[in-house]
Structure 1
Amino acid sequence: MTTLYDFNARRLDGSEQPLEAYRGQVTLLVNTASECGYTRQYAGLQELHDFFAGQGFAVLGFPCNQFGGQEPGGETEIAEFCQSRFGVAFPLFAKLDVNGDGAHPLWRWLTQADSPHPHPIKWNFTKFLIDARGRVVKRYEPAVEPHELVDDIKVLLAR
């Protein structure tokens, strides 16, 4: 069975990050963009990160430019924007595709036919909640605000 831990992703600083590093943690994967109407959700994602810090929870941000060209910057620009505007301290990864032939393998896994949520990403700030075993538990569409995930995260952390 494939899990989150079977993938690697490149960080904004260019280093390769095995997602195995998050084994045993509840994680929230989010495709992000700096010029989207939902960009303000960075603040809520950071609040989740802070609220559950030290409890076995991590937010992982994956910038994507596939929706309206709303993430046009390079890695340095993305990092500076997220830090200066929203104080983002959770891990951010290099810009990638979440749909189509060029989709990163992680995002193909999240949306493939045998996943619990087998359809393409519709827009920026789609969120996937992953349990401590690396399995997809729930998908949230972009309009779902980060604070609306608190109860679901608490349930997974209590397991």
Structure 2
Amino acid sequence: MTAITDIPVRQPGGAETTLADHAGEVLLIVNTASKCGFTPQYAGLEALHRKYRDRGFSVLAFPCNQFGAQEPGDAEEIANFCSLTYDVTFPVYAKIDVNGPDAAPLFDALKAAAPGVLGSKGIKWNFTKFLVDRTGTKVERFAPTTSPDAIGPEIEKLL
């Protein structure tokens, strides 16, 4: 598998980049939405980010509107919501698709590396979380119902 940090992603303004700035970090990559029942998890994600960032950890958010149209905003609206509502300091990338023919290559790689229940590759809902080790190759998937604080012990193992 190609290292996660080598896969192209888009910044909120649309410019293409990679996650190379996060090479060597433990990453929690999450498809997010502003109008979802799981949206309050932003607070827990931010708490994880602040707790572990000085030890080489980052949360990376990828807004997605594929599930119940729960992320209708543009990049500026999403950034304002995250900042004003949850004081988010972790990176929030461009809105993407996580399933289907237009799925972002990053999420195709994450789904292949860490299939869901019974080997399913599709993402079922917003706030599916992928924990990636420092090499960018070992990935573990967590369901939307898994609270961010429940992932803390798994992050600790990788730091």
Give TM-score scaled by structure 2 length.
0.94
**Equivalent residue number for residue 149 of structure 2:** 147
Which shifted more, 137-146 or 16-25?
16-25
**Equivalent residue number for residue 8 of structure 1:** 8
Are positions 1:58 and 2:58 aligned together? yes
Residues in 1 aligned to 2:114 and 2:48: alpha-carbon distance in whole angstroms: 24
- Deviation of residue 13 (structure 1)? 3.5
**Equivalent residue number for residue 41 of structure 1:** 41
Task: Give the aligned residue type for 1:98.
Answer: V
- Deviation of residue 14 (structure 1)? 3.3
Residues in 1 aligned to 2:30 and 2:53: alpha-carbon distance in whole angstroms: 17
**Equivalent residue number for residue 91 of structure 1:** 91
Note the 1:53-132 alignment, pairs <5 A.
53-112=53-112, 115-117=113-115, 118=119, 119-132=121-134
Unaligned 5+ segments in structure 1 are none
- For these two proteins, the number of residue pairs brought into alignment is 155
**Equivalent residue number for residue 21 of structure 2:** 21
Q: State the SS of the aligned residue for 2:55.
A: coil
Residues in 1 aligned to 2:52 and 2:13: alpha-carbon distance in whole angstroms: 25
The C-alpha deviation readout for 1:14-59, integer Å capped at 9, x for no partner, is: 3333112111100000000000000000000000000012100000
Residues in 1 aligned to 2:151 and 2:17: alpha-carbon distance in whole angstroms: 25
Q: State the SS of the aligned residue for 2:100.
A: coil
Residues in 2 aligned to 1:69 and 1:29: alpha-carbon distance in whole angstroms: 20
Whether the 8 Å contact between 2:24 and 2:135 is mirrored in structure 1 is yes
Whether the 8 Å contact between 1:128 and 1:136 is mirrored in structure 2 is no
Are positions 1:134 and 2:113 aligned together? no
Are positions 1:30 and 2:50 aligned together? no
The C-alpha deviation readout for 1:40-98, integer Å capped at 9, x for no partner, is: 00000000000012100000000000000000000000000010000001000000000
Q: State the SS of the aligned residue for 1:31.
A: strand
Q: State the SS of the aligned residue for 2:123.
A: coil
Residues in 2 aligned to 1:12 and 1:146: alpha-carbon distance in whole angstroms: 24
Unaligned 5+ segments in structure 2 are none
Q: State the SS of the aligned residue for 1:60.
A: strand
Whether the 8 Å contact between 2:27 and 2:59 is mirrored in structure 1 is yes
- Deviation of residue 107 (structure 1)? 0.7
